[in-house]
Amino acid sequence: MRKIIIKTLFRLLKIPIATNFIDQAKKKEWLGLQYPTQQFHDYISTRNLHLLQILGEGIRHDDEYWINIGRRIELGHLLTEAKREFEIAEKKRVKKKDENIKNKKG
């Protein structure tokens, strides 16, 4: 009963998540720097394997099951976002390099 009341209160309050204190540019830069590292990929692989093991144990389709499904989805989003930021940074680096070469020749 207590759990239901707490969930209902949070839904009624609709408390917004304060993200204005997070510097989005720095977050994107950090993600782009993490993607090519072996440690980042090791973490993703280890975490994914752990979640698959938990799901493979045959837990019931209750809250814990859906929480773990959400964790796997979130992990996939983290990997995708890091890859995207890395590719954007890489394109900027190549473009800047090409401009520097062009300026030296011109």
Mean pLDDT throughout 90-99?
88
Q: Is residue 74 situated within a structural domain?
A: yes
Strands (E), the chain: none
Number of domains in the chain: 1
CA distances for 6 relative to 69, 70, 77, 104, angstroms: 23, 21, 29, 65
Domain housing 59: 23-105
pLDDT digits (tens, 9 = 90+) for 14-73: 666 565 677 888 989 999 999 999 999 999 999 999 999 988 887 677 788 888 999 999
Q: Is residue 14 situated within a structural domain?
A: no
* CA atoms of 106 and 104, how far apart (whole Å): 6
Q: Is residue 49 situated within a structural domain?
A: yes
Question: Global pTM?
Answer: 0.71
Do 71 and 51 contact (CB within 8 A), yes or no? yes
Q: Is residue 97 situated within a structural domain?
A: yes
